[in-house]
Amino acid sequence: MGTKLQPRQGIPAGIFAGLGMLLVWAAGAHLWGPGADTLLSSIGAVLFPEGTPVLMMTAGIIIHFIIAILLGLLFAVSLDRLSNKDSLIVSTFFGFTIWVVAVIILRHWVHVDAVQMSRSWWGLVAFLLFGFLLGLYANIFGAPPAEE
């Protein structure tokens, strides 16, 4: 059947989904957590544990978008041509799978604050939104399902 997205389309898909996720995650951190600046700094602390708050926040945003682009590329090369509804279901499950990997498997490699905020209900919503937005991008810009 072929892929719904071309591999190069994974880059803008990842940026699009990463931006949506970042907005929801930061809003959740601001409303129910320690704050968006703490969230972004905790991600940036992976590279600059003793850096200034602005440096750690900038590094956190850059790291977030690099990961989002890589996951967008992975999604683009692995998504088959599915109906729009099926693409959204698969992509949202992709977001859930990323959440499970991030909070259970990779939790020892990233800053503890980032893991704790990801384990929150709004962290899960942000990951699900990331997957959903990848599927939405694929439905708008991807190839239609193959005729059988």
Tell me if 28 is assigned to some domain. Answer: yes
The whole domain housing 59 covers 12-141
Tell me if 3 is assigned to some domain. Answer: no
Nearest-angstrom CA–CA distance, 89 and 135:
8
Give the tens place of pLDDT for each residue, 78-137.
Answer: 888 888 899 899 999 999 999 988 887 766 666 666 666 677 888 899 999 999 999 999
Please state the rounded mean pLDDT for residues 66-89.
91
- Name the residue among 105, 97, 132, 102 with its Cα closest to residue 119: 102
Q: What is the pLDDT of residue 80?
A: 82
Does residue 48 carry a pLDDT above 90? no
Give the tens place of pLDDT for each residue, 3-12.
Answer: 688 889 999 9
Token pair belonging to 109: 């490699």
- Name the residue among 145, 142, 135, 143 with its Cα closest to residue 94: 135
Predicted TM-score (pTM) of the model is 0.86
Amino acid letter at 147?
E
Tell me if 32 is assigned to some domain. Answer: yes
Tell me if 6 is assigned to some domain. Answer: no
Count: domains in the chain: 1
